[in-house]
Amino acid sequence: MRHASGKTQLATFAGGCFWCMVKPFDELPGILSLVSGYTGGHTEDPTYEEVGTETTGHYEAVQIRFEPDVFPYTRLLDIYWRLIDPTDAEGQFMDRGASYRSAIFVHNEAQREQAEASKRNLQLSGRFKGKIVTPILPAGPFYPAEDVHQNYYNTHRYDYNRYYEGSGRASFFKRHWDRKQDKEELRRRLTALQYAVTQEGLDEPAYDNPYWNNTSRGIYVDVVNGDPLFNSTDQYDARTGLPAFVKPLHEGYISKKGDLRDGKVRTALYGRLSGSYLGHLYHDGPPPGGLHYQINSAALRFVPEGEMVREGYGEFAGLLSRNREIYWRMSEHE
């Protein structure tokens, strides 16, 4: 888990229906709270019905309290752009009207500068043919929405999933953020094996990979986007010929999905923000947790202890304890 300085900030984003703006940020490292609500208008304490009349001037939005030392504002912006159609000034996807417009509401000058730079870079990238019209506006009063709208993706899962798919968000993301040229760029950056593992779900050969018996101190990061995933002191010998860990650095960087390949029922692990296939989760690990994160070496990049500060991972140095020796001694006597 990443250490925080105690500093917190607010980030406020409008991106159409606020039901769809919570899940992508929820439970990420450094995210302390997420509130769906209304902002940008001229009335006080508006209701959902009032905002829906398009007479209040309010946007549906989500307000995030976060620790910038743990999860920087620039990374929140990266996630935000992938959730919206930034070329649409009249709403988002199937939701039309002023309350469904996109906007970034900034809380200080640093946020404004970072948001402006992020918007310019997106325009220059050529990812979208049209002009990026999402405005960057000063944050004002924010009014939390009614309880039924909070954490909607968890409290109304069936309705949320049906709405999300029907809205067109998923297909829009695939067209603009999972393009053929994106895959080609990734092929150039990764080795053939790294690409096959992370993008095509291949599991590499046992005992024929660089990290299965690595005894150096450091951390393992996602080979695609550099997210910190595992600590070497949480690694142990599971006698599978693949790297094994008792826990990740933070669960928020990993997503889990059911895997029925090869006629087995397993839990597959992916990098939550990179989408990279990592490996599998089993329940045959050492006590007290009993968890076994079996990860492909090709999905990881090892950052040695001596390089952690230079590469921006210095905050994890204090986690390099002697647990690794304990786990390895335990596995030797099984």
- Residue-by-residue pLDDT tens, the chain, 334 positions: 555 556 999 999 999 999 999 999 999 999 999 999 999 999 999 999 999 999 999 999 999 999 999 999 999 999 999 999 999 999 999 999 999 999 999 999 999 999 999 999 999 999 999 999 999 999 999 999 999 999 999 999 999 999 999 999 999 999 999 999 999 999 999 999 999 999 999 999 999 999 999 999 999 999 999 999 999 999 999 999 999 999 999 999 999 999 998 888 999 999 999 999 999 999 999 999 999 999 999 999 999 999 999 999 988 888 776 555 555 444 554 4
CB 221 within 8 A of CB 227: yes
Q: Which pLDDT does position 332 carry in this prediction?
A: 52
The residues near 43 (Cβ < 8 Å, ≥ 6 apart) are 50, 56, 57, 58
Structure tokens, 173: 């993301």
Q: For residues 233 and 325, give the distance between their C-alpha atoms in angstroms, rounded to a whole number.
A: 8
Place of tokens 């067109």: 168
What 8-state DSSP symbol labels residue 31?
E
From CA 79, how far away is CA 179, in angstroms rounded? 17
16, 100 in Cβ contact below 8 A? yes
Asked if 66 and 38 count as a contact pair (C-beta separation under 8 A), the reply is: no
Contact by Cβ (8 Å): 292, 277: no
CA 280 to chain centre: 19
pLDDT at residue 320, rounded to an integer: 77
Of 2, 12, 16, 17, the active-site residue reads 17
17 is catalytic: yes
Taking the model in full, what pTM does it have? 0.90
